[in-house]
Amino acid sequence: MELNRRTVIASAAAAGIAASALGGTAEAAPGAASHGRRPVKEHFGTLADGTKVYRWSLENGGTALKVLSYGGIVQSLEIPDRHGRRANVSLGFDSLDDYVASSPYFGALIGRYGNRIAKGRFTLDGKTYQLSVNDGDNSLHGGAKGFDKRVWDVEPFVSGSDVGLRLHHTSVDGDMGYPGTLRATVTYTLTRGGDWIIDYEATTDKATVVNLTSHVYWNLAGEGSGSIEDHELQIAAARYTPTDAGLIPTGELAKVAGTPFDFRRAKPVGRDIRAGHPQQVLAKGYDHNWVLDKGITAEPEHIATLRDPASGRTLRIATDQPGLQFYSGNFLDGTLTGTSGRTYRQGDALCLETQHFPDSPNQPAFPSTVLRPGETYRTRTVHRFSA
């Protein structure tokens, strides 16, 4: 099918990004078919309580997504290489049981609060809330049963040349310790140019904190194919947030200049990963929040590029969020077997989570994550693929 450049640009504009914001073009790679079709639903598995979990398959502009109603999990994300050969570039499992038993958030939606809140505790409007603690003393990714472990209502759509899914979840007042009934909608859109856009929206009926993100583990050579240390990464950030031993930010916005944390120019992930910087020793690699130079923006702006030189597959990320958690898969330890039947070892994937800074509810100097009744939390992240 012929790609109409004007339609591509119109669709990027509809997505609220300047067509140039991500560089490259939004056109599908050579050999990649571009066909937006209505998403298809199939039964994927059944939870212990009898709830059925479905898998939705959708495709557009050479990008193919498989999404579970459980956790809004991206179970598979296929994109072409420079020869048009597609591979699944997102770590995952082929069975629901594996996701339930032991997933380190593979492909999942994260809420209510991405990353850590110290001691699982914060004070808002004079009231202290105790959250579910599930990572040493701290609360990680929303607590013991975060949004990654909820069954979402999924609604497919086709809109112009876009195809997508709207996922809805209501988290009741007090859920995992968080105040307020939070109504969340996350929209996954595949554009005709093959971009994957995530729109997050939430409202509350009591003051609360919220920080939603997506936890795809990327390996642009294909999941299960080995280490991502040769991938080249660029992050538009001159500062990052160093942490204590529990990976809670100390509050400092440290300069990346002269440290292994400097990704302002693209470099292989593995180049400085063994540099022995005390922050890397704490995290067993990279597991930090980068303070994006652009700050919070009204529209998504380009903030990071990941490229696998061997296949040519390239991911450009744009967001309106102020932070990016770059996690180099440090805790993958060879105990999990992925979709293609191969085990995942340390550094076999990396996560690039657009977000507010970790522990913001306890760090008055960080941008606020407070959401009040009458307000709508709304953020967007755009993934552009090319090869």
Q: Which of the residues 180 through 219 are near ligand BGC (CB under 6 A)?
A: none
Query: Which of 213, 181, 188 lies closest to 59, judged by CA?
Result: 188
Q: Which of 34, 90, 115, 189 binds ligand BGC (CB under 6 A)?
A: 115
Kindly give, in sequence order, each residue whose CB lies less than 8 Å from that of residue 232, ignoring residues fewer than 6 positions away: 266, 267, 268, 269, 305, 306, 307, 309
State which amino acid sits at residue 142: G
| Binding of residue 351 to ligand BGC (CB under 6 A) | yes
Q: Which of the residues 214 through 253 are near ligand BGC (CB under 6 A)?
A: 247
Is 61 or 142 the residue whose CB approaches ligand BGC more closely?
Answer: 142
CB of residue 104 vs ligand BGC: minimum separation in angstroms?
3
Is 250 or 376 the residue whose CB approaches ligand BGC more closely?
Answer: 250
- DSSP states along 34-71: ------EEEEEEE-TTS-EEEEEEEEETTEEEEEESBT
Lookup: tokens for 59: 């495709």
Is 214 or 314 the residue whose CB approaches ligand BGC more closely?
Answer: 214
- The residue number whose beta carbon is nearest to ligand BGC equals 104
- Rounded CA-CA distance 338/344 in Å is 7
Query: Which of 380, 377, 379 lies closest to 203, judged by CA?
Result: 377
Is 129 or 327 the residue whose CB approaches ligand BGC more closely?
Answer: 327
Q: Which of 36, 62, 72, 104 binds ligand BGC (CB under 6 A)?
A: 104
| Site stretch for ligand BGC (CB under 6 A), options 85-93, 308-316, 324-332, 371-379 | 324-332
Active-site residues, by number, are 215, 353
CB of residue 178 vs ligand BGC: minimum separation in angstroms?
18
CB of residue 13 vs ligand BGC: minimum separation in angstroms?
32
CB of residue 314 vs ligand BGC: minimum separation in angstroms?
22
Phi and psi at residue 303, in whole multiples of 5°? Answer: -130, -20
Q: How many residues bind ligand BGC (CB under 6 A)?
A: 10
Residue 364: burial class (beta carbons within 10 Å; 0-12, 13-18, 19+): exposed
Is 56 or 366 the residue whose CB approaches ligand BGC more closely?
Answer: 366
Kindly give, in sequence order, each residue whose CB lies less than 8 Å from that of residue 62, ignoring residues fewer than 6 positions away: 28, 29, 32, 33, 34, 79, 80, 86, 194, 385
| Binding of residue 353 to ligand BGC (CB under 6 A) | yes
β-pair partners for 184:
169, 202
CB of residue 280 vs ligand BGC: minimum separation in angstroms?
13
| Binding of residue 331 to ligand BGC (CB under 6 A) | yes
Distances (CA, A) of 245 to 142, 351, 358, 377: 20, 20, 14, 31
Q: Which of 44, 105, 188, 357 binds ligand BGC (CB under 6 A)?
A: 105
Is 331 or 373 the residue whose CB approaches ligand BGC more closely?
Answer: 331
Kindly give, in sequence order, each residue whose CB lies less than 8 Å from that of residue 30, ignoring residues fewer than 6 positions away: 80, 82, 83, 84
Binding site for ligand BGC (CB under 6 A): 104-105, 115, 247, 287, 325, 327, 331, 351, 353
